Amino acid sequence: MKKYPLFINFETMRLGLTLIFIHWMYTVTLFCQSKRHLHEIHCDTTHFYFESYKDSLDDYVFKMGLKKNLITNDERLKLAFYIALNRYPELHKTRITLRHKNINSTMQAQPSPEFIFKRKNKRAYKIFVNNNPRRTGINYQELSFEGLVGWIGHEFAHLIDYNTMNNRALLGFIAGYIFDKKTMRRTERNADRETIKRGLGLQLLDGVAFFEKNNKISESYRNRKQKNYLSEAEIMLDIKRNCAP
């Protein structure tokens, strides 16, 4: 059947109203959940150095490797993954895949697309690590090991957030993140704060400091990071407030 412009406009309007409704439902759910999910601050000022921990990778895999699929040959990345994961015991039995992908940021965490058809406790997640430095101007391999741990910890903070949502709320969140700049900013800053609470504030700071000093970063990526994430000064303030020895 041939579709005329009026019908196309009606379909577009209906899609837009559906996304608005989903985002509204997510906002209501998020407000209710915020009253129930106040995490106790748990952080310290531990440092992680690759040479000091590289012999522990097998032990980490034995302890936390269940349902984890790390599709990479990068031993630094694998070790950083498990060191950060150690600060998120809620995710130890969660199905998580880490793999390289051409994306417009350094890392990205998201639920597997089939989540909508599964129960929350059966949900799987993916963490992508950018393998095309030309797209952002930053090569993740240039991050210090500490910075790598901190930035992966930030991605785990997203997974913790996703785990508080049922499928409808998560779908609404995705719509909000894509179409609402305020949702994106709130989400990323909250993930930074959760990373600090988990004891990875210094590692997060290390990565952000590297980012700010790197003159190869693309302008669009730099602007996005500066608008939506905690600055160096804000991270240091949170560390002093929550994690001072």
pLDDT tens-digit series, residues 132-179: 999 999 999 999 999 999 999 999 999 999 999 999 999 999 999 999
pLDDT for the residue numbered 6: 42
Its domain, for residue 135, covers 43-243
Residue pair 221/140 in contact (Cβ under 8 Å)? The answer is: no
Query: What per-residue confidence (pLDDT) applies to 44?
Result: 61
Residue 25 lies in a domain: no
The per-residue pLDDT for 118 is 86
Instruction: Tell me how far apart the terminal alpha carbons of the chain are, to the nearest angstrom.
Output: 70
pLDDT, tens digit, for every residue of 13-27?
Answer: 454 545 454 555 544
Does 36 reside within a domain? no
14 is a domain residue: no
Taking the C-alpha atoms of residue 229 and residue 209, their distance in angstroms, rounded to an integer, is 13
Average pLDDT, the chain: 85
Q: Is the pLDDT of residue 185 over 60?
A: yes
Looking at the chain, list the stretches that DSSP marks H as alpha helix, in order from N- to C-terminal side: 5-34, 50-53, 57-64, 75-85, 133-136, 145-162, 167-179, 181-195, 201-213, 219-228, 232-243
d(CA 138, CA 126): 21
Q: What is the pLDDT of residues 90-104, one digit of tens each?
A: 999 999 999 999 999
What is the pLDDT at residue 103?
95
Q: Give the pLDDT confidence score for residue 188 in this predicted structure.
A: 97
Q: Is residue 208 part of a domain?
A: yes
In a domain, 171, yes or no: yes
Kindly report the backbone phi and psi dihedral angles of residue 218, in degrees, each rounded to the nearest multiple of 5, phi listed first: -65, 150
5 part of a folded domain: no
| Residue 34: pLDDT band with limits 50, 70, 90 | very low
pLDDT of residue 43: 52
| Residue 32 covered by a domain | no
In a domain, 188, yes or no: yes
> How confident is residue 120, by pLDDT bands cut at 50, 70 and 90?
confident
| Number of folded domains that form the chain | 1
